[in-house]
Every structure is written in C-alpha cells, then in structure tokens.
A and B are shown apart, each in its own frame.
Chain A
Amino acid sequence: MTARQEILDRARTALGPTPDVPPIPRDYRAGGAAGATGDADVVALFAERVADYRATVHRCSESDLPAVLARLAGSRSVVASPRWARLLPGVAVTDDPPLSVAALDAMDTAITGCALAIAETGTIVLDGTADSGRRALTLVPDHHVCVVHAHQVVASVPDAIGALEPTIAEGRPVTFVSGPSATSDIELERVEGVHGPRRLDVVLLD
C-alpha cells in the first residue's frame, strides 16, 4: 500500500464512520465590522499602528509624491517595481526584466506599491503584481519604501483576507509585512533589522 493510501485509511479508521463535524461559529467581527475601507479614522489608525513598529510614515498628496520619493531615495541606488519605476525616471532601475539576486543585493532601496494595507495591525500586503513587485524585490535590498493609497487601507484582517481571496485563488504569492524585520530571540528583547529590510518607509497618499 502506498504511504498516501495508508495515511488516508488510518485517518478514516481513526475518525470512524460518522465523525462529528462541528459547525464553525463566526461571531467575531467580520469584514466591514471594524470600519469602512479608506475612511479617515481607519487611515489614521493605520498610520499610528505602522509607526508603532518603528517604521516611518510619510503622509503626502499625489502631487508631492515624486518629490517625497526622490527625497527618500536620496543618493542611494534605487530599484522599483515596474509601475513605480515610471514615476521616478532616471532615478530608479526597473525590476523588469527581473534583476539577478546579486544585482538586487547591490541595490540600497526598493520602491513598490502594495495590494492593500490593514489598519488594525499596521500591515502592508504585497501580491506580486507590477505594483507590489515580485517577492525578492522587497526582500533583498535593505530599505523598502512602500506607497499606500488611502483608499487601499482596510480596517481589519477579515477585510484583508476577503479582498485577497481572488488573488490567493489565482495562485499569486502574498506577503504580509508589519514593520521592518525583527527578532526577540535574545532575552525577548526586540531588535529591528535582521534578514529582511532593516528600514521600512510607508508613504501614505491622501
């Protein structure tokens, strides 16, 4: 008998002919219950929670954006997701065609957008599109600048999962980022900056 067949048979035997399948009570706050997407309070909460992780939040208007991004890039080498590279002509290298890992490693800063952001947890969510970029882009460079539109900010985790279901079903990789990389492995003392980007700037567009 194959391992597959044996494991499935053993599980069926263990459960018996009529296992008790409990219903799932979903009485917790569902999507929409914690505030409306893009609502001023929700966006303000997002900015506050991101800052709690010692990431830096910059709020600006659409027209100020190029200047803000240029300032954050400074004199550093910059790579951007295909969509965002267009906004920084001559400043950022486009990750299209994709850079090698070594070339990415030589870059100081990565600029991307995101799929959505979660207010309650101060999370940005990346989904591998031309906006968010592929996963390595926001992982290898030491500094990540992520642009978030106010209308992309959802209130809670259930709001986010609801919105991401089609993306996940399509098979796209999804990454939740909540602050810069961190560890508490030494005496539970939090240290920011381990293997992922050590600096995270979130540019919030009103």
Chain B
Amino acid sequence: MTGGFPVRARQELGDAQLRRNLGKATTAIREKRAHAIAELPDWEQLRDAGAAIKAHALATLPEQLERLEAAVTAAGGTVHWARDAAEANAHVLRIARDHDVAEVVKVKSIATDEIGLNEALAAGGIDVLETDLAELIVQLAGDTPSHILVPAIHKNREEIRTLFEGTIATDSLSSDPAELVAAARSFLRERFLRARMGVSGANFGVAETGTIAVVESEGNGRMCTTLPEVLVTVMGIEKVLPRVQDLEVMLQLLPRSSTAERMNPYTSLWTGVQPGDGPREFHLVLLDGGRTDTLADEIGRQALRCIRCSACLNACPVYSRTGGHAYESVYPGPIGAILTPQLQGLDRAPTLPWASTLCGACFEVCPVKIDIPSVLVHLRARVTREVESGRTPEALAIAAIGQAFRSRRRYELAQRLARIGRGPLAMRIAKAPPGPLRAWSRSRDLPTVPEQSFRDWWRSR
C-alpha cells in the first residue's frame, strides 16, 4: 500500500494542467445534467423507483441470479461463475483459447478493469484492444482511467494529438477533436471487422428474460457485441434487475445522469444467441469479487445499487480538484470512496472514506439515492474499529476524552486545564503541535476556550 489518498491527492493537486482540464469538464457536465433533469417532471419519482428496484434486486440477489442463469441458458448462452478476479479472468482466457483467438476487441467495462482482464489476457498471449475512444487513449498512453464515464478526462486535446501521432495516426494531426476521432475510427475499423471475439461489461442483466443491456455512445459497443462470432460479457452480480419493466426506469435515469443526454446514442439489448443475427456463442461471466462481502454490511450494501453514471464524481468538490488517480482505484470519486474499500477490503484502502468533505452533493445527484455521506461516516467508524490498532493519536485522544466525560470530577478538571491551555505558549503549541498531531491541526483551528465554563457560571449566579 502507498500513502493512500492524502499522499496521492497532494501530488495530483500540484498539476495545474490537470486541474484546468478537470475543472472545465466537470463544470460543463454539471450544468448540462441539471438541464437534462429539469426536463422530466417525474425525476424524483424515477429516483425513488430506481433506488427501490436496485434495493429489491439486492435483497433477493440469490433468487435473481438463479433466474438470470436459467434464462440466459434457455436462450442459448452459457453462464460462468467467478468468486474473484483470477477466476473471472481464467474463464475469459479459456474461452479465447478454446476458439484459437489471438485478438480480442473490448467495450469499455469497469468490471473488467477491476479484475485486470487486459493484463491477464496479455499474459496469456492474447492481444486486447480497447475500442472506446477514451479507453483507447488510456491504453495507448499506458495510463489508467481517471473517470467512470470519461476515463481520459485528465487529458486535453493537445495531449491526445501528440499521443495519437506517436501511435495510431498515419499522418500528422491537428488538435481538432473531430480529426482525432476520425483517426481512431480508421485505426479501429478494420479490427472490428476482423475480430472473432468480443468482450463487454453489462449495464444491466434482466433476470426475467436473461437480457443483457449495454449503454454506449460511439457504436464500438454495437461492433463488439454484434460482429464477432463469440461474445463474452463480464458482469458484476449486483447489475441484475428482476424485470424487463425495470429498464423503463433505468434507461431514463442513466443517460441523463451520466452524459446529460435525453438518451445515449446506442443501447443494445440481447438475449443469449439469435440465429442469423450477431454472435453464434454467448458467455456470461458472473463476478462476485467482494460484492457478497459488501452485501453483508447493512449500511454499506447500498453502494451496490450504483449504476456507474458518474454524476457524483462531477458534483464532488474533492474529485473535481484531485481527479480520479488520487483514489488509486478503477472506481474513483465519492462512489469509489465507498465501493473500493468494501470490494477490496478496508485494510486495502483505509484512507478513502476520508476522501470527502461530507458536503452531500453526491447524495443529491445520485439517481439511485445512495446515501454516500452516511456510508462514508459508517466506513470511517469501521476503519477505526477494525483496521487501526487503537494507538493512533486520534484514537488515544478520543479514549482520553471518553475517560474525562465519564465522571463529573474529571470533566471539570479537564475544563480547568483547558482554560490554563489558553495561554500564549500553549496556543503556539496547539497551532503547530509536535509529531503526529500536526496532521490534525494543519487544516483545523482550535476553538478558543471561554474564561468561565457554563457550570462555573451556574454555581456563581
């Protein structure tokens, strides 16, 4: 483990270009989103329904997964179960090898980023090509995604032009986004047409019918899920929806919350295999990867309702300054701060629950009403209880305060000591205390202790 969020955030904040790119992008998308939502008179009712649909699906998860498996199988697909990343990657690699595939085209999928599928396939000798424009940029740059929806949000057009000229472009380019997009199109086109295996994630999986939904903009998702002979979808088990009808809610909530559009350009729904139309073989890999652990936490489990819209990232005053890399996870921003520690284990990401001011902007924009601030506070308590030894300065201070509050005599003694502590020397120490206490005082002022306590005043009245 590195120094965690505080250390990475400090580094990222030093990058003025990054802050400009992020500030511009998040401000623009926030304004667009507010406009897209104001258009629907029943937005709040849709949020209530969306939250309940996901909560319902999670509360009945075992049953929904069994229904989904049965429906996919009945429609000619094959379902594989994966306890963890290694098992999921092994399924995909085995399917590729079974078909002698050397190259795989891939739709943007955070679940596959989470399990490190690209690296696992590459280690198995299989080339993986990211086909979403931003994912391609990230892949070509040897970088990692920094936003759920716009993984290359940290790069501006000039940086992308330089990158493309050094990699996929055959000619020199201008920094006009249309020209950069055209370069990516011609690079990927031939690869789409010859691809024999596609890999996707899933936005939703409908238990009732076994239908998988992929929501996208560029058409790369349609290419990858339609043209290859073999399609493999890696889906986190929390993406299941009980009924087809639930799509009428989700397909309104997701586009307006994520890209701030009335509808994204393409949504593909497919069910198993359809003779004469699309892949001849369909595999669904159902991934646990810490999700059942998350489900066991009654407060924390609401993080599994997330539909990956990224509205909370754009709304967050912390994310919009530090960017996604500071979170050191494929799930950045407020949702990442509650999802990553739960999926990976609190000991792997113990600083993330503090990567927030608890201002509540994330909760306000969340289309499925995840109370992120409450989960953050809950996880802070869990980290303190379960991970930290009880010997941190904060834990010791709180323990001392607990002792002081336990008897009237000790409490009043503590008050008198605090008043003595108001002297000039004591104040200087309090402003820049020695050792580990400095981390606490750097961003906080000590309140002034009054001359007379309420108790003393009451007695002397």
Contacts and interface: CB of A to CB of B under 8 A. Distances in A.
Interface in A151-183: 157-158, 160-162, 164-165, 168-169, 171-183
Interface in B428-461: none
Contacts of A181: 217-219, 265-266
Interface stretch (B272-280, B322-330, B398-406): B272-280
A26 interface: yes
A10 B278 CA distance: 35
Interface string A1-18: 011101110111111000
Contacts of B192: 195
A38 interface: no
A172 B87 CA distance: 31
Interface stretch (B120-128, B180-188, B333-341, B360-368): B180-188
Interface string B189-215: 100110000000000001011010000
Interface string B221-233: 0110011000000
A3 B90 CA distance: 13
Say whether chain B's binding surface is mostly helix, strand, loop, or mixed: helix
Contacts of B255: 121
A173 B278 contact: yes
Most buried by B among A136, A161, A171, A188: A188
A15 B59 contact: yes
A14 B293 contact: yes
Contacts of B160: 186
A186 B177 contact: yes
A123 B75 CA distance: 27
A139 interface: yes
A169 B244 contact: yes
B83 A3 contact: yes
Contacts of B82: 3
A19 B277 contact: no
A6 B178 CA distance: 49
Given A7-B237, A195-B192, A121 B133 contact: no
Given A14-B292, A135-B277, A182 B265 contact: yes
Interface stretch (B1-9, B48-56, B413-421): B48-56
Given A7-B81, A22-B52, A196-B218, A12 B263 contact: no
A22 B59 contact: yes
What bracket does the count of chain A residues touching chain B fall in? 35 or more
Given A134-B276, A139-B222, A193 B268 contact: no
Interface of B: 21, 24-25, 28-29, 41-42, 45-46, 48-49, 52-53, 55-56, 59-62, 65-66, 69, 75, 81-83, 87, 131-134, 137, 150-153, 156-157, 160, 177-178, 180-181, 184-185, 188-189, 192-193, 206, 208-209, 211, 217-220, 222-223, 226-227, 237, 244-245, 247-249, 251-252, 255, 259, 261-272, 274, 276-278, 286, 288, 292-293, 295-296, 301
17 contacts: A8-B65, A12-B62, A15-B62, A52-B262, A105-B193, A122-B262, A134-B276, A168-B244, A169-B244, A171-B75, A173-B270, A173-B274, A175-B266, A185-B151, A194-B217, A195-B192, A196-B265
Given A161-B248, A183-B181, A195-B222, 15 more contacts: A3-B288, A7-B292, A13-B296, A27-B42, A28-B49, A121-B255, A140-B193, A171-B75, A171-B209, A171-B271, A185-B133, A187-B24, A195-B192, A196-B218, A196-B266
